[in-house]
């Protein structure tokens, strides 16, 4: 059985990695294109280059820590692990092809899910939802 080539918007992953920024901007939506035209964070680019050098031998596992939730995912980031800040701690994210053109912050939620519990100390009788007998 033949292996299916993974593509993103008609381009193979190997082709995407060789694209320069101006060619990639044509493939993303207008909001991401405008953000990329204004420039990419140089400090983050240096961190990614250093990370790629260290991971060539395959034993480096430490993710790149960043607070930059508004960073657009570009093809150079494919396969890189990021630890994105969510307000109180860092969450690990590994970049895959479906994430291209999106923001890093979209993959790390900043709010917890609401969990209902029982009523706390000092709550009114009606909020405890316990059935009591009236005497």
**CATH code for residues 7-110:** 3.30.860.10
Average the pLDDT over 44-70 and give the result: 89
C-alpha 30/C-alpha 22 separation (Å) is 13
Q: Which residues contact 107 (CB under 8 A, 6 or more apart)?
A: 84, 93, 99
Residues in the chain: 135
CA trace torsion 50, 5, 11, 78 (10° rounding): -20
What is the reported pLDDT for 6? 81
Helix (H, G, I), strand (E, B) or coil at 102: coil
What is the reported pLDDT for 10? 87
> Is the entire prediction scored with pTM above 0.85?
no
């Amino acid at each position: 059985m033949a292996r299916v080539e993974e593509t993103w918007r008609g381009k193979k992953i190997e082709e995407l990695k060789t694209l320069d920024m101006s060619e990639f901007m044509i493939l993303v939506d207008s909001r991401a294109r405008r953000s990329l035209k204004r420039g990419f964070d140089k400090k983050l680019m240096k961190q990614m280059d250093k990370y790629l050098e260290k991971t060539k031998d395959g034993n480096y596992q430490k993710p790149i820590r960043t607070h930059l939730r508004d960073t657009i995912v570009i093809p150079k980031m494919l396969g890189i692990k990021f630890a994105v800040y969510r307000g109180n701690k860092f969450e690990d994210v590994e970049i895959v092809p479906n994430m291209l053109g999106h923001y890093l912050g979209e993959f790390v939620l900043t709010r917890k899910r609401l969990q209902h519990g029982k009523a706390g100390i000092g709550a009114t009788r009606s909020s405890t939802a316990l059935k009591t007998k009236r005497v």
